[in-house]
Amino acid sequence: MSNRSVVPFGPQHPVLPEPIHLDLVLEDEVVVDAIPSIGFVHRGLEKLVEVKDFNEMAYVAERICGICSYGHGFGYCDAVEHIMNIEIPPRAQYLRTILFEMSRLHSHMLWFGLLADGFGFESLFMDAWRIREKLLDMLEEATGGRVIFSINKIGGMRRDIPKEMLKSFRQRLEDLTEDLKVTVRTLLEDPAVKSRLSGVGVLTADEVETLGAAGPFLRGSGIRRDSRKLGYLAYDDIDFDIITHNDGDTYARTYVRAMEILQSVDIIKQAIEKTPAGEVDVPVKGFPNGEYMTRIEQPRGEACYYVKANGKKFLERMRVRTPTFANIPALTASLRGSELADIPILILAIDPCISCTER
Amino acid sequence: MKLSKSPWLLHYDASSCNGCDIEVLAATTPRFDVERFGIINTGNPKHADILVITGGVNNQAKSVVKQIYSQMPEPKVVVAAGICACDGGIFKDCYNIMGGVDKVIPVDVYVPGCAVRPEALIDGVVKALAILDQKRDAMKSHAACEINYDKNSDTKEKNQA
Ligand code: SF4
């Protein structure tokens, strides 16, 4: 008869850049249950709508999370713009698309490095973060910030990205592509990596669907769902496919994210080609009145932004539903039955973002 | 400047938006590469000299921060990274935020910025190192820590006598 024991995992743990706590119930080496407890980074920023007006909230929304900051800022602005019936100019739509994909790219590279570090592939970690710095350079040139951009405002963008800069981005991405391909290939084809990831934490399409997972977690089990296909911003005019994998294991999730890195480069290049000339913002008058929910595809999956306004300077409610929160039930399901040593990899493979989860 | 030792860092996210955390990590990767000075981001409080802490600390993180701090061996220095860690920053008005790391544990170096830039953070760590030296010297000069070998041999002889 084997004995049960409980191993606490986190909140402070070497593989976790952010705090989350799991109680792992073990039978010998095998995890029979995982009980998550969250709340270490809960700030309660949704309640800030009472003290910050609807324009300032764009900058608060951006600070939900430092990795997907761009998407949060955009999602909030989009919801308010819909309430106020603001049509943002085509150039701004395209620039937003370009920056969104850039931020997805930097987020995926960050995940890439952390995952490699998670199973001890230190040099790959460093390599991914070296490439990521080049992406951050571009983002900094365009927006002025490395992680917090604050370039979106209600009604468009705070500043334009000049034509020459876009051209240079195109060239620099072209130069980076080879580097990116080599790095991605290393992760996906290295036999040691493969044996570490394949067959670990398998969830079927049915399971992930019922447990409500989002993003690459979902697509890694063969479900074709990507909110970018809803056609917001300029995504309708851009030619891209939803990347999926049918195995449903950690390798499949890794594959989806890694291939999305290369896909994002392609999307940015297409968007730069098609960016029209013109204004990047429209004047905003009055206060919002009404409610709206925006759905967008963040690097980790679908995020929803609900805004309710009542014609005053301060909103009545803002509510955000983030992908990692949706992924936690499926994550704990995938932990059950796996070995203790695989736990860090399983957690890192869904690219958890605790700040988003707890807000 | 001469480093008196290669300090090991412990990083903890005490209710930040994690923008500052990724910048702390970025400081150890090839562009900034503090690892070339032997400055390592360790995961173990018992190995750490400098605690780099981000975020405004919420009620649940409070006890964790205190515990990590108490597990670190003396001498130790605390660096508050980002404006949230300095005084709560944009989240200052949130119901759950204490408003700065110094409400919970003593802070030696404040590095502002939203997010903190890796250059600024490295500067902060260098300042922390100077404080670490001072603290160590203070511990050495403390009489109880001084081992006087001559005196010891004296007592030995006396004991034998
Ligand atoms: S200072 Fe800014 S970037 Fe850093 S944790 Fe706070 S809100 Fe995030």
DSSP state of A275: P
CA–CA distance, A286 with A50 (Å, rounded to integer): 18
pLDDT along chain A (359 residues), means of 10: 76 75 82 81 83 86 87 89 87 89 90 85 87 89 86 86 87 88 87 84 82 85 82 81 85 89 89 85 84 88 88 85 86 83 82 82
Maximum Cα–Cα distance across chain B: 71
> Does residue B88 belong to any structural domain of this protein?
yes
ipTM: 0.79
Q: Give me the residue from A12, A40, A147 closest to B68, CB to CB.
A: A12
User: Do residues A216 and A259 touch, judged by C-beta distance below 8 A?
Assistant: no
Provide the shortest C-alpha distance from residue B86 to chain A (in Å). 16
Q: Which residues of B touch A43 (CB under 8 A)?
A: 15, 17, 56, 58, 91, 94, 96-97
Ligand 1 atom at minimum distance from B20 CA: 4
Q: Give me the residue from A13, A129, A148 closest to B19, CB to CB.
A: A148
Residue A14 near chain B (CB below 8 Å): yes
Residue B64 near chain A (CB below 8 Å): yes
Cα A338 to Cα A28, A200, A273, A341, A349: the distances in Å are: 11, 7, 47, 8, 14
Instruction: State residue B61 phi and psi, 5-degree precision.
Output: -80, -15
Provide the shortest C-alpha distance from residue B5 to chain A (in Å). 23
pLDDT confidence of residue B158:
52
CA–CA distance, B20 with B52 (Å, rounded to integer): 10
A297 - beta bridge partners? A302
pLDDT confidence of residue A152:
87
- Closest to B41 in 3D by CA, of B9, B14, B73: B9
> Does residue B14 belong to any structural domain of this protein?
yes
> Does residue B3 belong to any structural domain of this protein?
no
Host domain of residue B85: 8-160
Provide the shortest C-alpha distance from residue B159 to chain A (in Å). 49
pLDDT confidence of residue A1:
52
pLDDT confidence of residue A287:
84
pLDDT confidence of residue A197:
84
pLDDT confidence of residue A318:
87
> Does residue B2 belong to any structural domain of this protein?
no
- Is any atom of ligand 1 closer than 6 Å to the C-beta of B15? no
Residue B104 near chain A (CB below 8 Å): no
User: In this structure, what CATH number is given to the domain that contains residue B62?
Assistant: 3.40.50.12280
Which of A16, A68, A136, A147 best probes binding to B when mutated, by most B CB atoms within 10 angstroms?
A: A147
> Does residue B61 belong to any structural domain of this protein?
yes
Cα B155 to Cα A55, B142, B144, B149: the distances in Å are: 75, 21, 16, 10
C-beta atoms of B19 and A67 within 8 A: yes
* Token reading at A214: 């989002």
CATH number, span A4-358:
1.10.645.10
C-beta atoms of A146 and B94 within 8 A: no
A18, A43, A62, A63, best to mutate for ligand 1 pocket (most atoms within 8 Å of CB): A63
User: Read out DSSP for A83-152?
Assistant: HTT----HHHHHHHHHHHHHHHHHHHHHHHHHHHHHTT-HHHHHHHHHHHHHHHHHHHHHHS-SS----E
Domain count, chain B: 1
Closest-approach residue (CA) in chain A for B96: A43
> Does residue B78 belong to any structural domain of this protein?
yes
Which of B10, B17, B24, B72 best probes binding to A when mutated, by most A CB atoms within 10 angstroms?
A: B17
C-beta atoms of B18 and A353 within 8 A: yes
pLDDT in tens, chain B (161 residues): 677 788 888 888 888 888 888 888 888 888 888 888 888 888 888 888 889 998 888 888 888 888 888 888 888 899 998 888 888 888 888 888 888 888 888 898 999 888 888 889 888 888 888 888 888 888 877 655 555 666 555 555 555 54
> Does residue B68 belong to any structural domain of this protein?
yes
* Token reading at A179: 């580097």
Q: The pTM is what? A: 0.84
Q: Tell me the CA–centroid distance for residue A82 and ligand 1, in Å.
A: 28
Provide the shortest C-alpha distance from residue B143 to chain A (in Å). 36
pLDDT confidence of residue A355:
82
CA angle B124, B128, B132 (to 5 degrees): 175
- Closest to A44 in 3D by CA, of A320, A327, A326: A320
pLDDT confidence of residue A161:
86
Find the DSSP H helices in A157-220. 163-189, 191-197, 205-211, 216-219
Q: Give me the residue from B12, B29, B58 closest to A12, CB to CB.
A: B12
- Is any atom of ligand 1 closer than 6 Å to the C-beta of B17? yes
C-beta atoms of B91 and A45 within 8 A: yes
> Does residue B140 belong to any structural domain of this protein?
yes
Ligand 1 atom at minimum distance from A147 CA: 3
